[in-house]
Structure 1
């Protein structure tokens, strides 16, 4: 009887040790995945900042006016060209 209890306890200790090892391994894998996701997030934030700067540059009023004048031949209407429509 005593040998059976000893073997049972030994088996439970071994099972517990294996469970600890598996849990640590899962923790390490989860930590690696978290680190990769954080790095990807940081890279996306950097790219988003660059795109915001690029958008601000492309939509700058002076640039739009310059392109409208030079490439499209647009100009501000003269006073005589403006027509006010009343309801």
Structure 2
């Protein structure tokens, strides 16, 4: 009979123990649910950041291509402007050419059907 008297205490302890286990399980499930939501939101945020970074990268690549084209254009323009003095220098040094003075200039004008040659005066400069 002593066993029967303590048997209801054991069943009550089991009931209290089962209720405590259920509360702990619900708490653990709630924490896991919140963790899953947080992880999903983090993945979505990181994906959005990745897309934004990729879009910015594409913009920067197109800007780089545009700047390279502009650089090439400016290099060609620089070479064009820098080659003019080189041509003049080579013409004078290698070919013996020179810029004419006013005494060396002559203007050819038609004079009543006959072609005449006229010396350019110092005040007339072409």
- TM-score, with normalisation over the residues of structure 2? 0.53
**Segments ≥4 residues shifted beyond 2 Å:** 63-66, 73-78
Radius of gyration: which is bigger? Answer: 2
Distance 1:65 1:39, change over 3 A: closer
Please report the RMSD computed on the Cα atoms of aligned residues, expressed in angstroms: 2.1
Deviation at 1:42, TM superposition (A): 0.4
SS in 2 for 1:8: helix
Query: Could you tell me which residue of structure 1 aligns to residue 75 of structure 2?
Result: 68
Does 2:13 correspond to 1:8?
Answer: no
Structure 2 gaps, min length 5: 1-9, 91-126
Alignment of 1:8-87 (within 5 A): 8-60=17-69, 63-70=70-77, 73-75=78-80
Higher helix share: 1
Shift of 1:34: 1.1
Q: Which structure has more strand as a fraction of its residues?
A: 2
Shift of 1:52: 0.8
5+ residue gaps, structure 1, are 82-87
- Normalised TM-score (structure 1): 0.74
Q: How many residues align?
A: 75
The superposition leaves residues 18-54 of structure 1 with CA deviations (integer Å, 9 ceiling, x where unpaired) of: 1000100111111111111111000000000111111
